[in-house]
Structure 1
């Protein structure tokens, strides 16, 4: 196994417990898919075993502070520990879709595994971990023999497909899962999406359990309107879901139908959110609850949007159509944005408008995180009461 001697900045991060290898700490590194032993450049102290492989985040991952061999037994042990952590989800009658393996939260970055009823979904984030695909699948079958079949999502560049069926029984093209007692229509083999973002299930639960009762709800960047469905289940008087993607209407209505809702009080708008803000203001529309959950970065024909620079604009314009004493649910999944940085964006948007932070939710317990690395807990969702 190759030896890699690293500089003090990277060494400090590893000793702190951070597993992601940041490319900025390895400026002259030629990254090839390889397992390496890390040593301190300063003291020659052994620091751990890592693998090198470029992905969206970083140039590799520390996988152990010991020297290890990657074989089926190694992965079985990782998966057994991960499964035990999610016992409450396995025993739940109200939730049948959740994450069972979450990168560095389960001590191995580069892949995740989600369960949707009796089917598993693997997401591969770099080419090195993809080389271990069959070994990891064999380990998974040994630890999760109850799973009927599995699919994969390819989240790195280089292959000519994004999604595929990989073993066992094939799932229906679309099927219903449960989350907090609410039904959602999902799909496992259609691009990178599945019809729901599982990391938001505690936020949706708050809408089911009181936050939306009797309220009008506006859901911005709604995707398949899962927040709107949760709000409807929680007694919302009406919901409006806004997304630029035309397919969002079809997928959103499928969720509503899965719960037997009449669509009369639930609207779906295919529109840029900033255009919708202007439309709502022009027509005198107001909302009691506004959910704002944009992608970290987006570009359309008119403009680009970055959470780190532009989120305040979403807040400022939401205030113009928010009912008196209304509530804003402000969400971001940008891992490069700290809680304090996100708060600064929110405060810039609120300006002089008085408001109260009621709650902060981050990743739910099935999305285990590396507590030593703030970026591992990427989700940040503030519930804010506006006192206007």
Structure 2
């Protein structure tokens, strides 16, 4: 049976190509407003310039992304729709993870799982959700009910304290328990055989950075008997993996005392020795200057800063900051040692990141051998035509 949406948008001639290529976003410039009746927020049918059905999406006149595609089929966007999408996302993760080894990961990755604006992270039996855009927030109660029906978690906690909501015309940054019960303080999760202590109430993002999981594991092979410096260490994910790889010592630097406290708890939970002096509450730039001034060198340096480029307007400034910091960090690596560096800004493309690293090596006067160019793990799937989803770049290099 044909199911029509209450509203429709018609694309200008030629603009259907991106939709047919399965890019999930339609901007206002692609819409022929003379042939469209969508004026308010809600589900719309998307048609080409000749009126042919292309799919169904969510229309938001307050956003630069006017329509976020939901489906290419003529199907109702209801609870059954979200249940099916969530089940498909769960099925993928069940092929990726043995929950006896890893019980926490990204369960729903927005456009990557066909649910634009929705992020769901699994922390053992607890789910943490982010409604990052109106396309998800509009259906929040339906989505929460669908998650309960499919997964039966002990609780669902919302962490929609993200800036993207404002850009999508949403007000407020809601945080709190939405279903069931959620521990009020730190909780333990299991990641690749290691325990991690996290706090979903107060931690960054949803409480932990699952996108770096595979890169943390990759670091292990370079750390045997190594002296390691972990800059922007947060809760010590790279720290504990370096120790699991046989590091002799890891110094972790972060401005957040609370994050370092969780990191130290993680190290102790896994049976490693932890010394208070190895956890430095300090700005990473200041730490680099201090170590450089003291002439210290490390066998491995990890540099995992926050996103400096929040938008295209700050890209040039961010690249200069990345270059300066990477050059200085490279200088702290002992000859023949290893350097892991990352950027989580989607505005910094892989090509820009490589160019930045090339310039940083020149400024440091230290040749680099690229050993691995990595990204987010497979629980962050990326549609082939959606380059905007390729946000995480991670390079492991040997410093000569």
TM-score (norm 2): 0.86
Deviations 1:88-146 (A, max 9, x none): 3553311111111111111121101111111111111123421211111222222113x
> Could you say if the C-alpha distance between residues 227 and 305 of structure 1 is closer, same or farther in structure 2, counting changes exceeding 3 Å?
farther
2:393 to 362, 367, 380: 380
Residue equivalent to 2:344: 333
- The unaligned stretches of length 5 or more in structure 1 are none
2:374 to 340, 349, 361: 361
> Could you say if the C-alpha distance between residues 261 and 239 of structure 1 is closer, same or farther in structure 2, counting changes exceeding 3 Å?
same
Residue equivalent to 1:148: 154
Question: For residues 124 and 25 of structure 1, what CA distance do their matches in structure 2 show?
Answer: 26
Residue 306 of structure 1 and its aligned partner are, at CA, apart by 5.1
Question: For residues 318 and 32 of structure 2, what CA distance do their matches in structure 1 show?
Answer: 27
1:170 matches 2:182: yes
Question: For residues 135 and 80 of structure 1, what CA distance do their matches in structure 2 show?
Answer: 15
> Could you say if the C-alpha distance between residues 129 and 40 of structure 1 is closer, same or farther in structure 2, counting changes exceeding 3 Å?
same
- 1:86 counterpart SS class: helix
> Could you say if the C-alpha distance between residues 113 and 195 of structure 1 is closer, same or farther in structure 2, counting changes exceeding 3 Å?
closer
Question: For residues 211 and 392 of structure 2, what CA distance do their matches in structure 1 show?
Answer: 8
Work out whether residues 122 and 152 of structure 1, in 8 Å CA contact, stay in contact via their aligned partners in 2.
yes
Deviations 1:327-385 (A, max 9, x none): 11111111122211111111111115322111122121112221221221221111111
Question: For residues 264 and 29 of structure 2, what CA distance do their matches in structure 1 show?
Answer: 44
Once the two structures are overlaid, the 10-residue window that deviates more, 303-312 or 79-88, is 303-312
Residue equivalent to 1:221: 232
Residue 307 of structure 1 and its aligned partner are, at CA, apart by 4.1
Residue 22 of structure 1 and its aligned partner are, at CA, apart by 4.6
Residue equivalent to 2:126: 119
2:9 to 4, 7, 17: 4
Once the two structures are overlaid, the 10-residue window that deviates more, 250-259 or 223-232, is 250-259
2:24 to 14, 19, 23: 19
1:182 matches 2:191: no
Question: For residues 112 and 383 of structure 2, what CA distance do their matches in structure 1 show?
Answer: 5
Question: For residues 110 and 285 of structure 1, what CA distance do their matches in structure 2 show?
Answer: 44
- 1:121 counterpart SS class: strand
1:205 matches 2:212: no
TM-score (norm 1): 0.89
Residue 159 of structure 1 and its aligned partner are, at CA, apart by 4.9
**Number of paired residues?**
381
Deviations 1:165-185 (A, max 9, x none): 111233352111010111111
> Could you say if the C-alpha distance between residues 32 and 200 of structure 1 is closer, same or farther in structure 2, counting changes exceeding 3 Å?
farther
Question: For residues 235 and 62 of structure 1, what CA distance do their matches in structure 2 show?
Answer: 47
- 1:328 counterpart SS class: strand
Question: For residues 369 and 266 of structure 1, what CA distance do their matches in structure 2 show?
Answer: 40
Residue equivalent to 1:92: 99
> Could you say if the C-alpha distance between residues 277 and 304 of structure 1 is closer, same or farther in structure 2, counting changes exceeding 3 Å?
farther
